[in-house]
Amino acid sequence: DTGVSQDPRHKITKRGQNVTFRCDPISEHNRLYWYRQTLGQGPEFLTYFQNEAQLEKSRLLSDRFSAERPKGSFSTLEIQRTEQGDSAMYLCASSPDRGNTGELFFGEGSRLTVL
């Protein structure tokens, strides 16, 4: 399968703990995006990478959130000192540079539950 892969699919943690999610984009897709989706809402943009450069961050991405894409391939999203309000589905998407139509391809998401 060459789609966007996310890990873990589900994570349950206690308030105050740190969690990390990983995203592997479609091979050769230079652009990688993180979105957050709470129940009953549409996804909200968090951040965007082109290769290893983080080009845009939403105000939703507080100081407790950090995203990296060190070699321009996979990306990680870390949440420090989790709060109950962080409970959500974290979605990763990728798109190519060449011939870019702006179409995004999403993974299955990582669901976070903070107790």
Partner 1 sequence: KQEVTQIPAALSVPEGENLVLNCSFTDSAIYNLQWFRQDPGKGLTSLLLIQSSQREQTSGRLNASLDKSSGRSTLYIAASQPGDSATYLCAVGGDSGSRLTFGEGTQLTVNP
55 near partner 1 (CB under 8 A): yes
Decide: is 50 part of the binding site for partner 1 (CB under 8 A). yes
In angstroms, give the least distance from the CB of 74 to partner 1. Answer: 17
Q: In angstroms, what is the C-alpha Rg of the chain? A: 13
Q: CA 101, 110, 73, 67 torsion: positive or negative?
A: positive
- Tell whether residue 104 is a contact of partner 1 (CB under 8 A): yes
Strand segments, DSSP code E, in 1-115 are 5-7, 10-13, 19-24, 31-37, 44-50, 53-57, 65-68, 75-79, 88-95, 105-106, 110-114
CB of 17 to partner 1, least distance (A): 23
Q: Which is nearer to partner 1, 6 or 82 (CB)?
A: 6
71: Cβ–Cβ under 8 A, 6 or more apart, which residues? 52
Between 5 and 80, whose beta carbon lies closer to partner 1? 5
Question: Residues 37, 110: contact at Cβ < 8 Å?
Answer: no
Among residues 11, 48, 82, 88, which is the contact residue for partner 1, using CB under 8 A? 48
Q: Which of 86, 94, 107, 114 binds partner 1 (CB under 8 A)?
A: 107
Tokens of 22: 């990983």
Task: Give contact residues for partner 1 (rule: CB under 8 A).
Answer: 4, 6, 31, 33, 35, 40-45, 48, 50, 55-56, 58, 91, 93, 100-109, 111
